Copies of this chain bind each other. A is one copy, B any other.
Amino acid sequence: MRFSTAILTLLSTTSLITATGPTKTQLSNRSKKFSLGIVLFPGFEPLDVIGPFEILQSVSAYYPLSISFIASQTGPITSRAPPHVMVPGQPPVDLSHLIAMDLYATHTFTTAPPLDILLIPGGMGNMVLVENNDTSIETFINSRYSELEYLLSVCTGSVPLARSGVLKRRRATTNKSFWGWVTQFGEKVKWVPSARWTQDGKIWTSSGVAAGMDMTYAFLSKVYGRQGVLDNVMNAIEYAPHTDPHWDPFSVVWEVPGADQQGSLESCVKPVGW
């Protein structure tokens, strides 16, 4: 079946069987051109960025979006973190033997356009920024926070959010293998030990790496409504998302203090809308 025909068939079928359609706001959002920014830094985690980006890019074929990849400088930004002290008192960890990729930053913190949605990924690079006392991301978050409609983080990307102060008295999570390191940051942050993602007001934070995709699906379901484009896109990229934010077996795997030991380690998924 031709791709275009398949899309139209599913679009019409889905709207017929859905009991609740998109809200007025969601319909309005579908023609609003959200300005999306994704921050990059040396040692960003590739899938933290590209998991969400894949879904957003696919959606942008139907709903207007614009993108800025924002870093301290434009041009190629490497996914390899520079040498840094990972364990206090130990010599710096050299990750030069890791394979790495370069993603192109299109804007700097200074030249980035007005933004509606800002996403901060995680990665080993977060440790380096902290170690170097580099607060450029925190400063950028604070300068843009009031204008943002949404602020998202994936994995240890919640660290700059915490250090910026925007997480004060707000719920947030992070990847679970680095829980101890991450949760030392920020004042009065309500760190949630078991959560695939959290939402508190306009701030969404996800657990580690792959969880960014599940958070993105939940986020876009809220912004646009699932019916029609979003669910079709998830099925076109053949990703069956985890839709329960409480499913967080990795908080158990990585022995996070206060993790929900009663929850099931298992999650059953299928194509959305089916």
Taking Cβ atoms with an 8 Å cutoff, the residues of A that contact B are 1-4, 6, 10, 36, 45-47, 49-51, 53-54, 56-57, 60-61, 64-67, 69, 76, 79, 86-87, 95, 97-104, 175-181, 207-211, 213, 235-240, 249-250, 253-255, 265-271, 274
Contacts and interface: CB of A to CB of B under 8 A. Distances in A.
B254 A270 contact: no
A240 B236 contact: no
Indicate the member of A99, A103, A208 with the most B CB atoms within 10 Å: A99
A51 B207 CA distance: 17
Contact of A57 (B2, B100, B207, B249): B100
A238 B268 contact: no
B266 A237 contact: no
A175 B213 CA distance: 19
B36 A46 contact: no
B249 A270 contact: yes
Contacts of A210: 213, 237-239
A193 to B, nearest CB: 12
A207 B209 CA distance: 22
A65 B208 CA distance: 23
A237 to B, nearest CB: 4
A3 B45 contact: no
A211 B66 CA distance: 27
Nearest to A7: B177
A190 B197 CA distance: 41
A250 B240 CA distance: 10
A79 B49 CA distance: 14
A147 B272 CA distance: 41
A213 B237 CA distance: 12
Contacts of A66: 99
A240 B213 CA distance: 13
B270 A266 contact: yes
B4 A97 contact: no
A104 to B, nearest CB: 4
Nearest to A251: B238
